A and B are shown apart, each in its own frame.
Chain A
């Protein structure tokens, strides 16, 4: 598949994820247990929740569906970019070591 088609498919998928995320968070379809499973397990076992020392870089924005959607969308973009950069760096090394260039093949 051509690179442009791959990028188009990647872009379309990203937009669909963002729309799906926004729809489920804003409509309240998602559960209202922001603490995560482990914390709920502590409550279930009758133990005090461990003190949260780091609330995240977005903690100053507070809670709410809109904030969750915005910070989630930003997180998705960061995850995509980070994975793209990391795997690009890793894949480039193949090109430098394992796969011969066109000039090397022609020689």
Chain B
């Protein structure tokens, strides 16, 4: 997991390195702080608890590559604080960074492209982000459940419980993602990578599609 997450992180840094507009750096810092703060607060979801992951929110705003880098930084600071742990850093980065960001961004991109021909771009962003953030949380939970099945003693009951709890947590994730996106759509829409003409749209391109000077 460390190796897989590490490879994707290096690719993400390379991608961001070529496309990031330095005028947006203060926002990147603030978004990292927002996600760190949101992940600190666990809300009770019996029998466990849950918090905002924020991967889809970041991916919709900055694109998947900058989002992965941001999640990596947030999880690193968390790990130093004893939340998440240093040994599980690779696993956490894979689930909450790589899987969530890529699934969240891909899905939101597809939904947004489908919806924007029928309605306002901003409404399309919100609906796409809500659907994608919910799905990304559940998919990440499925991945976590599959990973935990490798632990001796973990059974399918625990797997179903993990996915079931995250099906509830996903609702909160979708609501919070939309609430924060409403703010950005109003205050600084050029930060939303899905919107056409956004300053962030270049950083959201796939590595293979990046054309110098394009």
Binding site for B on A (CB under 8 A): 1, 3, 6-7, 9-10, 13-14, 17-18, 20-21, 24-25, 29-31, 33-34, 36-38, 40-41, 44-47, 52-59, 68, 71-72, 75-84, 86-88, 90-95, 98
Contacts and interface: CB of A to CB of B under 8 A. Distances in A.
A68 B27 CA distance: 25
A94 B20 contact: yes
A47 B155 CA distance: 11
Given A41-B158, A83-B29, 19 more contacts: A6-B23, A6-B27, A18-B37, A20-B37, A40-B48, A44-B48, A44-B161, A46-B153, A56-B80, A57-B81, A72-B40, A75-B36, A75-B81, A82-B32, A84-B29, A87-B66, A90-B17, A94-B17, A98-B18
Contact of B82 (A7, A40, A54, A88): A54
A30 B76 CA distance: 22
Interface string B62-89: 0000100110011011101111111110
Interface of B: 13, 16-37, 40-44, 47-50, 66, 69-70, 73-74, 76-78, 80-88, 144, 148, 151, 153-155, 157-158, 161-162, 165, 187-188, 212-213
A45 B36 contact: no
B49 A31 contact: yes
Contacts of A38: 88, 144, 148
Contacts of B80: 56-57
14 contacts: A3-B23, A45-B148, A56-B81, A57-B81, A72-B40, A76-B36, A79-B33, A79-B73, A82-B77, A83-B73, A83-B74, A87-B16, A91-B21, A94-B20
A80 B21 CA distance: 17
A28 B91 CA distance: 30
Contacts of B49: 31, 33, 37, 40
A1 B78 CA distance: 32
Which label, helix, strand, loop or mixed, suits the secondary structure of the B interface? helix
Given A9-B187, A81-B29, A91 B22 contact: yes
A44 B154 CA distance: 9
A90 B78 contact: no
Given A40-B49, A75-B78, A84-B25, A54 B86 contact: yes
